[in-house]
C-alpha cells in the first residue's frame, strides 16, 4: 500500500479570489483536511463545494492529533494541511507535523499561494531583496528585547505579525531603539474589504494608532538601516583566548589557527596579535 501525501495548502488571506486553481483542486479531492480553525476552513470548503473530513489541528492540539494524522497518511489517504489564512507552518502550527511526516518517509507536496509576509513587503516600498522575518514576538521579557534590538540594527527590512491591541506597544518599543524617524509600514486586513496600508515614521505611526485603535490582522514592516552592522571589536576576546592557550602549552602557530577558526579573525591579524604577546 502506498502512503498518503501530505499537502501543505496556502489559502487566501481574505479575498477568496486569491485561492489558486491547484489549491482548489486539492481541497476538493483530498479525503481529509487538517485545519487550524475548522469554522473558517469549513466556510472555504463550502465555497468550493468540497466535503472532506475536517479535523482540528492547531498549536494546542498535542501529539495525539499529530499521531492520528500520521496514521491517516500511513493508511494511504491524503491529508491537506491549512492554516487560518496564508501559508501553513509560517508563524502558524504545522511545522512539527511536516517534520514528522517527512521523517516517516511520506510524500510532502507544498501548494504555494498567499503569504502576508510577501504581500506586505511588496507594498512597503522597502528593499525586499533580503529581509528578516520575526513573526509574533514575545509580549515581554528578555527574548522580546533581544529580537527588537536585532531588528533595530538589521540592514534589511524586518517583518512582524502583531495583534491590534499590541501594535502601539510594538511601534513604541521600536521607536525607543531606532529613533522617531525610521520608516515603518503597517498593513491591516490585507486583501480584505477594509484593507489599509499605512506608511510613515515610527513617531507618526505611534501617534496615528494611539488615536485610531484598529481591528483585524496586522503585518508590520520596519525599514532596515541600509548598511551592515559594524563588526564588534574582538581584540579583548582574542587576547584573553590567546593568553590562555599559550599558558596551556600550545604553540603560537596553533594559537593563531584557533583564533582564526573560533573568532573569525583574519590570519594576519591573529598572527600579529599572538606574536606581540610575551
Q: What is the DSSP track for 64-130? A: HHHHHHHHHHHTT--EEEE-SSBSTTSSSTTHHHHHHHHHTT--EEEE----HHHHHHHHH-S--SS
Q: Indicate if 108 and 126 belong to the same structural domain.
A: no
Closest alpha carbon to 38 in 28, 30, 46:
46
Q: What's the confidence (pLDDT) of residue 164?
A: 95
The parent domain of residue 123 ranges over 117-222
Element (H, E) at 6: strand 6-9
Q: What's the confidence (pLDDT) of residue 5?
A: 98
Residue 230 lies in a domain: no
CATH of the domain at 147: 3.30.950.10
Residue 59 lies in a domain: yes
Number of H helices, E strands in the chain: 11, 10
Query: What's the pTM?
Result: 0.80
Q: Indicate if 206 and 239 belong to the same structural domain.
A: no
Residue 172 lies in a domain: yes
Q: Indicate if 181 and 268 belong to the same structural domain.
A: no
56 contact partners, CB below 8 Å, separation of at least 6:
34, 35, 36, 38, 65
Tens of each residue's pLDDT in the chain, 278 residues: 789 999 999 999 999 999 999 999 999 999 999 999 999 999 999 999 999 999 999 888 878 899 999 999 999 999 999 999 999 988 877 899 999 999 999 999 999 999 999 999 999 999 999 999 999 999 999 899 999 999 999 999 999 999 999 999 999 999 999 999 999 999 999 999 999 999 999 999 999 999 988 888 899 999 999 987 665 567 888 888 899 899 899 999 999 988 888 777 888 888 888 988 87
Residue at which a domain ends, from 180, 197, 222: 222
Q: Indicate if 89 and 156 belong to the same structural domain.
A: no
Q: Indicate if 209 and 242 belong to the same structural domain.
A: no
Residue 229 lies in a domain: no
CA dist 201 and 183 (Å) reads 4
Residue 1 lies in a domain: no
CA dist 210 and 217 (Å) reads 17
CA dist 256 and 259 (Å) reads 5
Residue 136 burial (CB count, 10 A) = 12
CA dist 63 and 51 (Å) reads 26
Residue at which a domain ends, from 114, 146, 180: 114
Residue pointed to by grid coordinates 499537502: 7
Q: What's the confidence (pLDDT) of residue 63?
A: 85
Count of the separate structural domains present in the chain: 3
Helix axes 142-153, 167-178, angle to 10 degrees: 60
Q: Indicate if 124 and 216 belong to the same structural domain.
A: yes
Q: What's the confidence (pLDDT) of residue 180?
A: 96
Q: Indicate if 73 and 125 belong to the same structural domain.
A: no
Cell of 75: 493508511
Residue at which a domain ends, from 79, 114, 149: 114
Q: What's the confidence (pLDDT) of residue 40?
A: 93
Q: Indicate if 218 and 264 belong to the same structural domain.
A: no
Q: Indicate if 206 and 246 belong to the same structural domain.
A: no
Residue 228 lies in a domain: no
Residue 53 burial (CB count, 10 A) = 12
Q: What's the confidence (pLDDT) of residue 31?
A: 98
Closest alpha carbon to 23 in 2, 44, 53:
44
Closest alpha carbon to 124 in 54, 220, 23, 55:
220
Residue 84 lies in a domain: yes
Helix, strand or coil, per DSSP, at residue 185: strand
List of E strands, 124-239: 131-135, 157-162, 183-188, 196-201, 218-222
Question: Which burial class, exposed, middle or buried, applies to 208 when counting CB atoms under 10 A from its CB (0-12, 13-18, 19+)?
Answer: middle
CATH of the domain at 104: 3.40.1010.10
Q: Indicate if 21 and 75 belong to the same structural domain.
A: yes
Q: What's the confidence (pLDDT) of residue 228?
A: 79
Q: Indicate if 87 and 106 belong to the same structural domain.
A: yes
Q: Indicate if 145 and 162 belong to the same structural domain.
A: yes
CA dist 19 and 82 (Å) reads 12
The DSSP letter of residue 11 is B
Amino acid at each position: 500500500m502506498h502512503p498518503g501525501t501530505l499537502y501543505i495548502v496556502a489559502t487566501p488571506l481574505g479575498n477568496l479570489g486569491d485561492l489558486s486553481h491547484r489549491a482548489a483542486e486539492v481541497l476538493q479531492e483530498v479525503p481529509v483536511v487538517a485545519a487550524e480553525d475548522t469554522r473558517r476552513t469549513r466556510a472555504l470548503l463550502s465555497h468550493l463545494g468540497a466535503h472532506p473530513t475536517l479535523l482540528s489541528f492547531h498549536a494546542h492540539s498535542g501529539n495525539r492529533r499529530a499521531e492520528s494524522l500520521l496514521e491517516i497518511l500511513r493508511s494511504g489517504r491524503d491529508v491537506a494541511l491549512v492554516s487560518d489564512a496564508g501559508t501553513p507552518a509560517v508563524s502558524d502550527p504545522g511545522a512539527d507535523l511536516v517534520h514528522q511526516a517527512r521523517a516517516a518517509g511520506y510524500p510532502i507536496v507544498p501548494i504555494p499561494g498567499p503569504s502576508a509576509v510577501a504581500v506586505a513587503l511588496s507594498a512597503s516600498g522597502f528593499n525586499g531583496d533580503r529581509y528578516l522575518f520575526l513573526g509574533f514576538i514575545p509580549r515581554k521579557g528578555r527574548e522580546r528585547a533581544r529580537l527588537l534590538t536585532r531588528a533595530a540594527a538589521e540592514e534589511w527590512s524586518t517583518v512582524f505579525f502583531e495583534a491590534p491591541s499590541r501594535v502601539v506597544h510594538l511601534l513604541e518599543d521600536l521607536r525607543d531603539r531606532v529613533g522617531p524617524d525610521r520608516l515603518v509600514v503597517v498593513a491591516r486586513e490585507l486583501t480584505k474589504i477594509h484593507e489599509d496600508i499605512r506608511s510613515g515614521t515610527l513617531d507618526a505611526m505611534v501617534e496615528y494608532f494611539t488615536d485610531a485603535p484598529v481591528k483585524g490582522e496586522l503585518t508590520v514592516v520596519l525599514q532596515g538601516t541600509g548598511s551592515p552592522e559594524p563588526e564588534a571589536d574582538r581584540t579583548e576576546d582574542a587576547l584573553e583566548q590567546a593568553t590562555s592557550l599559550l599558558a596551556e602549552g600550545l604553540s603560537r602557530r596553533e594559537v593563531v589557527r584557533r583564533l582564526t577558526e573560533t573568532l573569525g579573525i583574519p590570519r594576519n591579524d591573529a598572527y600579529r596579535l599572538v606574536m606581540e604577546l610575551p
